[in-house]
Amino acid sequence: MTRRIAVLSTLWLVGSYMPGHAHSAERSGQGIVSFFTRVEAKTEAPDVSITPSSTSFPATIVDTLSEEQTITLKNTGTGTLSISGIQIAGSSRTSFIEVSNCESTLVAGESCSIYTAFDPQKSGALTGTLMVADNAANSPQSVALSGTGLVQPSVELTPGGLSFTAIPVGDSFDGIMHPGPDSSASPPADAD
């Protein structure tokens, strides 16, 4: 919303009468005292700064939430900023999360925070764009988001189970693994 404010300024002159100008005059001794009123319109309009302009998240395992990063939205103009929407756009938008403490309006000089996090839904390089729609002339404002999704490493142990031969208490162990009767593992070869 743009609001116009009338600014009145008055100029007092002592001197002769000036025909054709809006004025009020009074005779005072030697000359005429005149005053002229000028009306000047000033426009109040919001302006926005959003920082940083891009945010890069560290590599994160798929379906794991990263630490949040903060984006600051500030009304640097003279009018009230009306925020109509904050959202994430782009083909990988579901891999980014935003939450904010921004109200629907910001008066001149006021700021709010938008918290973003990375929650990769697949592996690889992922990008998105945080979009803020409002009544400022440069709407919508945007912040580039990026991160890399990593595959959860998996470990497979083979064989699936081991069975050991019982050693009676007091007997010594010769250092060689002897598979039990129900194990399919073969004993290790002697390394001489």
This prediction's pTM: 0.61
Q: Which residue stretches of 5-152 are H helix?
A: none
Q: How confident is the model at residue 158 (pLDDT cuts 50, 70, 90)?
A: confident
> Rounded CA gap, 1 and 104, in Å?
13
Q: Is the dihedral of CA 91, 86, 142, 123 positive or negative?
A: negative
Apex CA 186: angle with CA 181 and CA 191, to 5°?
135
**What pLDDT score was predicted for residue 189?**
58
Better-scored residue on pLDDT, 6 or 158: 158
- 1-14 residue pLDDT tens: 445 554 444 454 45
Mean pLDDT confidence for 62-80: 96
Query: What mean pLDDT do residues 156-185 have?
Result: 66
**Burial of 45 from C-beta contacts in 10 A (0-12 / 13-18 / 19+):** middle
- 17 pLDDT exceeds 90? no
Q: What is the pLDDT of residues 102-157, one digit of tens each?
A: 999 999 999 999 999 999 999 999 999 999 999 999 999 999 999 999 998 887 77
User: Do 87 and 99 meet the contact criterion of CB atoms below 8 Å apart?
Assistant: no
pLDDT above 60 (res 70): yes
Task: Give me the pLDDT at residue 37, please.
Answer: 58
CA–CA distance, 149 with 170 (Å, rounded to integer)? 54
Question: Domains of the chain (ranges plus CATH)?
Answer: 3-44 (no CATH), 48-150 (2.60.40.10)
